[in-house]
Structure 1
Amino acid sequence: MNPVVERVYEIGIIPVIAFNSVDEAVPLCKALVAGGLPAAEVTFRTACAEECIKKIHDEVPEMLLGAGTVLTEDQADRAMAAGASFIVAPGFDPNVTKHVIDKGGLMMPGTCSAGEMQQAMNLGCEALKFFPAEANGGVAMLKNIGGALKTAKWMCTGGINAKNVNDYLAYDQIFAVGGTWMCKSDKIKAGAWDEITAMCKEAVDTMLGLELGHIGINCADDTEAMKTAETLGSLLSMAVKPGNSSIFVGNKEFEIMKKPGRGTHGHIAIKTNNVDRAIYHLSNRGVKFDLDSKVVKNGKTTAVYMADELAGFAIHLVQK
């Protein structure tokens, strides 16, 4: 996967911004970074877009910058020279698309039909924009097309919000979404940077969907494990379901290990909508992971342990 596409995938949500003034550029991007979304698609809908991209590139280097609403080859050239790592267009123009690719840039043309998508992919586009997503049938539309275009990867924009973001990101061929709900224009005009940071954090938490999966308890042997499981089952009126290496209690809320496993006392499983994104975002919050413990199936990470124990328990993330 192209490293820029991979980073877009890890971040998951790309704020789409139309700046009114160059003065907004740096404080807004610092607010996005603080909220866990170090990326932006700066649209060429306003005259200051190019200058904003350059200023952000120079002063907030941790930001992954894209240029949006790019309609011409000249705009694409100016955006890339200013520091944009990817170019996004509302529609599919073969000439602009080929121009960006020939210059070594990453182009995400706007597409809304299988024909446009196929043409863009044949020109060498690794990533496509699906726009406007909701108006063009949303996830259901892409699932139908994805059955034929199995290598297509989409970033969806247009009608994406906190209520439907996970409907989109749950489909593996959608590698990211773009939106404005966490940085609305009125908040930008008001300079409400703390509010934008808070909304970004909320958007990240919604996307990750972290929740308790189960608690694993280490036991010395089969006998101790069964006694522990039966005691918990009796106390909580939960069913006991023996397995090969462990015994589950209830609807797998507890896993009683028949011999000591990872963690001094056991382990705690945290479920998430996407383990790769959780690793990226939690790492940015200071969490350390044992990447050698990653379990990968069909190219997607399904589980990973954190590097450190917590109160004698190993912590691992698992795919929902």
Structure 2
Amino acid sequence: MTPPAVPSPAAASVLDLAPVVPVVVIDDAADAVPLARALVAGGLTAIEVTLRTPAALDAIRAIAAEVPDAVVGAGTVLTPGAVADAVDAGARFLVSPGWTPGLLAAMRASGVPFLPGVSTTSEVVALLEQGVREMKFFPAEAAGGTAYLASLVSPLPRARFCPTGGITLASAPAYLALPNVACVGGSWMLPRHALTSHNWPHIETLARNAAALRP
């Protein structure tokens, strides 16, 4: 029997927090709190910290403890072990670039919202069959962009996406105008020069511009 088509726990609330989810790579955990405060002050409250650096889990832990208005999540979640580590650190949602049955089971069992990654129609259908309706579309630009997602609206109206990968301030509005796109993920509000110089006011300004994108 096909499982009921229900969203992962509270996933819709994460998708609806802001039109843009910052995708953050943190090299120094000491930067996590001021960076998160700048993003939240700019209106971006859902923050995806990618598990790509040794500092990532400490960064999640610090944001969860010291920035109460942030909803911090873990991105680039690739294994069941990473699921456990991220949730233990305080991640309130999980994002993966793709999924396997084992990873999906671990994310579902974690008790926190999750967005498994897809880039093909078959992957979307497989998740819908498992009762998962909220997904990450990755890599968005390389996988077909707005034209691809628009083509999924009629045949797969239950699927809801957060496209990530190659999206910019200029291209984000076209994604957000699609009925099956709830928000987009991006890193354009986190330029390297601002991070290395700790220019948090500049990041706050860029975050505010991103938060204003909702059509």
TM-score, structure 2 normalization: 0.92
| Structure 2 stretches lacking a partner, 5+ long | 1-6
Deviation at 1:151, TM superposition (A): 0.2
- In the other structure, the counterpart of 2:180 is 173
Provide the rounded CA distance (Å) in 2 between the counterparts of 1:113 and 1:137: 10
Q: In the TM superposition, what are the counterparts of 1:35-74 in structure 2 within 5 Å?
A: 35-74=42-81
Provide the rounded CA distance (Å) in 2 between the counterparts of 1:24 and 1:40: 14
Give, as a single letter, the amino acid of the residue that structure 1 aligns with 2:173.
Answer: N
1:185 to 169, 177, 192: 192
Relative contact order, higher structure (CA 8 A, sep 6+): 2
Asked whether the 8 Å contact 1:101–1:124 carries over to 2, the reply is no
Deviation at 1:4, TM superposition (A): 4.2
Provide the rounded CA distance (Å) in 2 between the counterparts of 1:4 and 1:56: 20
4+ residue runs over 3 A deviation: 1-4
- For residues 136-177 of structure 1, give each alpha carbon's deviation from its aligned partner in whole angstroms, at most 9, with x where no partner exists: 111110111222111000000011111111100001111110
Provide the rounded CA distance (Å) in 2 between the counterparts of 1:177 and 1:203: 10
- In the other structure, the counterpart of 1:15 is 22
- In the other structure, the counterpart of 1:85 is 92
- For residues 74-103 of structure 1, give each alpha carbon's deviation from its aligned partner in whole angstroms, at most 9, with x where no partner exists: 001111111111111111222111111023
1:114 to 94, 115, 121: 121
- For residues 208-236 of structure 1, give each alpha carbon's deviation from its aligned partner in whole angstroms, at most 9, with x where no partner exists: 4xxxxxxxxxxxxxxxxxxxxxxxxxxxx
Deviation at 1:8, TM superposition (A): 2.6
- For residues 263-307 of structure 1, give each alpha carbon's deviation from its aligned partner in whole angstroms, at most 9, with x where no partner exists: xxxxxxxxxx2xxxxxxxxxxxxxxxxxxxxxxxxxxxxxxxxxx
The DSSP-based 3-state class of the residue aligned with 1:66 is strand
- For residues 151-207 of structure 1, give each alpha carbon's deviation from its aligned partner in whole angstroms, at most 9, with x where no partner exists: 0000000111111111000011111100001112331121010110111112223x0
Provide the rounded CA distance (Å) in 1 between the counterparts of 2:134 and 2:188: 23
What is the alpha-carbon root mean square deviation over aligned residues?
1.4
TM-score, structure 1 normalization: 0.62
Q: In the TM superposition, what are the counterparts of 1:117-128 in structure 2 within 5 Å?
A: 117-128=124-135
1:150 to 150, 157, 171: 157
Provide the rounded CA distance (Å) in 2 between the counterparts of 1:85 and 1:123: 22
Deviation at 1:118, TM superposition (A): 1.2
Going by fraction, where is strand more abundant, 1 or 2? Answer: 1
Provide the rounded CA distance (Å) in 2 between the counterparts of 1:98 and 1:123: 10
Provide the rounded CA distance (Å) in 2 between the counterparts of 1:186 and 1:124: 42
Give, as a single letter, the amino acid of the residue that structure 1 aligns with 2:109.
Answer: D
Give, as a single letter, the amino acid of the residue that structure 2 aligns with 1:190.
Answer: S
Provide the rounded CA distance (Å) in 2 between the counterparts of 1:35 and 1:201: 4
The alignment-based identity, stated in percent, is 36
Provide the rounded CA distance (Å) in 1 between the counterparts of 2:131 and 2:87: 18
Is 1:161 the equivalent of 2:168?
A: yes
Select the structure of larger CA radius of gyration.
Answer: 1
1:203 to 186, 190, 210: 210
Asked whether the 8 Å contact 1:107–1:125 carries over to 2, the reply is no
Provide the rounded CA distance (Å) in 1 between the counterparts of 2:152 and 2:186: 22
